[in-house]
A and B are shown apart, each in its own frame.
Chain A
Amino acid sequence: MRRRVINKGDTQLGVTWAWGSRTIGTALLLLGSLHAGASAVQDASDNKSCLRCHQMATLAYRDPTSGEIVDLSVDPNALSHSTHGELACSDCHAADYEQYPHPDRLKDEALACVGCHEEQDDAQERRYRFETIDKEFKHSVHVTSDAPEAADFGCHSCHDPHAFRNSEVGEDIAQIVRDDNAICMSCHEELNDPYRDPHLWLPKREKHREAVRCLDCHTPVSESGQPVSHQILAGEDSNRDCVQCHSKAPQLLNRLYQYRSETDLANKGWLSKAVFNEAYVVGMSRSPLIDRAALAIIAITLLGLGAHGYGRYRAYRRSKEDQT
């Protein structure tokens, strides 16, 4: 289960990850006093030392400037299953954390996703190139918007580095959709309000919410070869055209159907996939041209057959009359 970080200062993509507070807070002070003078992080690879404190769900402090609660807790279970699960805390948090309470200057610790990910040996082979993500993200509505809620928006606003992992082919589609949409919904609370939800125009709203990710409509079809663009679109720029998914538009349909098919196959095996095919999207086989032409030809054929039958009937009556 993904969880959104509520660290207010989590701006990313090369921007400083600031702890945002002048002091690390009373909670830490209290904890720190228990360990004063001890060198807690003896073994950098041993996350237990860090998690001993940070696994506490309530580890947080209130930012004196903004008044917001800055969550410092890390769920060890989520961390170990996350995409960063095999890393040591110190692989990212390289700075000096041995002192308790952690020194003030650490709040300015800079953590950049793009730099680290692009430096890796396998960066070229990855499905997602972080440079591309960076470019797309810069055009995202979360960056371009002037709305105060979008200020300081960064990678970690959606991707909790301590819990995030990519969905994988083979997982339950409904679960992937739920998890993915939960990220959006954690900020966009208006979507849960039937009077403010901007999707009122959308037929079968609940069905859509269960079946497709917000991203499926709110991102342009990526031409970078990456599965989903990070250029999140504003509502007015997003796809509102039903036929983009429910009919032709090969790209959007392809993206949606192929992904669901892959997942379906991996989940259930080929026979079950063949029988239940969860991937089918209503209307994906529809073509107004073929439908109209075919229905017209069928109607004409039926009329022709009817006329033919009538002609035969008259011939039959004639032969009967001739016999009598």
Chain B
Amino acid sequence: MSELYLYPRWVRLWHWTNALLFILLMFSGASMHFNGVGLLLDFQAAITLHNTAGILLTAGWIGFVIGNLVTGNGRHYQVQLRGFLKRLITQSIYYGYGIFNNAPHPFHPSSEAKLNTLQQVTYIGVMYLLMPLLILSGWAFLFSVYLPETLFGIGSVWVVAMSHLTVAYLLILFLLVHIYIITTGETVLTNMRAMLTGWHRDTHQETEA
């Protein structure tokens, strides 16, 4: 049985703020996008909520990047190329096969590496590719007057709108998989508890010296 303090307070605060903003953004975004369909927000209220949450999300993302630069948390996002493919395949085989046969977890978080390779790649893609695209396209929506009239020969507002929409859908997909995957810890709630308390428990792992 080991207990590791993996998630410092600022990471947890950022994570749950981000989660809340994500839910608000999804709901208000859907209310704008599918306005008129039942159970959605009033159009103007949705716009205000969506934009406010978007601004806060931007601030949160900047905070996250700065946090990773000035604290040790950034090391979890540095890919170790040695054995990368092997680790990635091992992890994928576990989720696709081993997990149904009660195989042991191939990865055990440590203070050096709290993310398995599959997680790491996903989070890098989400935080350093999709999130910037989402944020940029969101702001471009608001300040499209400063953009050229056309981008790639198509009206720029349309390009911006479609980018924002596509990235938003990809992030919804991420969120669904993310919420599911965190239940694949030692118990269904192990990972969730870790993000709430900061402490990761692992009965199959000896406490580090």
Q: How far is the CA of A316 from the CA of B183 in the complex (A)?
A: 13
The one of A257, A276, A305 that contacts B180, using a Cβ cutoff of 8 Å = A305
Query: Is B161 in contact with A285, judged by CB distance below 8 angstroms?
Result: yes
Checking A253, A285, A315 against B102 with a beta-carbon cut-off of 8 angstroms, the contacting residue is A315
Shortest C-beta distance, B96 to chain A (Å), equals 9
Interface residues on B, range: 35 or more
User: What number of A-B contacts does a CB cutoff of 8 Å give?
Assistant: 106
Whole-angstrom distance between the alpha carbons of A257 and B145 in the complex? 9
Q: Which of B52, B55, B165, B180 has a CB less than 8 Å from the CB of A309?
A: B180
Of the candidates B102, B143, B154, B176, the one whose C-beta lies within 8 Å of that of A270 is: B143
Q: Are B100 and A312 touching (Cβ within 8 A)?
A: yes
Q: Which residues of B contact A318 (CB under 8 A)?
A: 102
Docked-complex contact B51 and A274, CB < 8 angstroms: yes
User: B47, A280: Cβ atoms under 8 Å?
Assistant: yes
Interface readout for B56-70 with A: 1 if CB under 8 Å, 0 if not?
Answer: 000000000000000
Known: A254-B156, A290-B162. A280 touches B32 (CB 8 A): yes
Q: Categorize the interface residue count of chain A.
A: 35 or more
Q: Which residues of B contact A258 (CB under 8 A)?
A: 144-145, 149, 157
Q: How far is the CA of A294 from the CA of B29 in the complex (A)?
A: 15
A297 CB within 8 Å of chain B:
yes
Query: Would B158 and A275 count as touching, CB distance under 8 A?
Result: no
CB within 8 Å for A254 and B155 given contacts A290-B169, A314-B100: yes
- A110 vs B15: C-alpha distance in the bound complex, in angstroms? 73
The docked-state distance in angstroms from the alpha carbon of A250 to that of B166 is: 17
CA distance A262 to B156 in the complex (A): 15
| Listed residue (B95, B99, B142, B169) with the most chain A CB atoms within 10 angstroms of its CB | B142
B193 CB–A CB distance under 8 Å: no
Given contacts A274-B55, A308-B180, A312-B99, A251 and B157 within 8 Å (CB-CB): no
B103 CB to nearest A CB, Å: 9
Interface status of B164 (Cβ within 8 A of chain A)? yes
- Across the interface, A253 reaches (CB within 8 A) one of B32, B36, B155, namely B155
A284 to B48, CA, bound (A): 17
User: Distance in Å from the Cβ of B68 to the closest Cβ of chain A?
Assistant: 26
Q: Are A319 and B155 in contact (CB under 8 A)?
A: no
Query: Contacts A280-B47, A308-B180; is A251 near B172 (CB within 8 Å)?
Result: no
Is B111 an interface residue when CB atoms closer than 8 A count as contact? no
In the bound complex, CA of A254 to CA of B164 (Å):
16
**Could you give 6 example pairs across A and B, Cβ below 8 Å?**
A261-B142, A265-B145, A274-B143, A285-B165, A315-B99, A315-B102
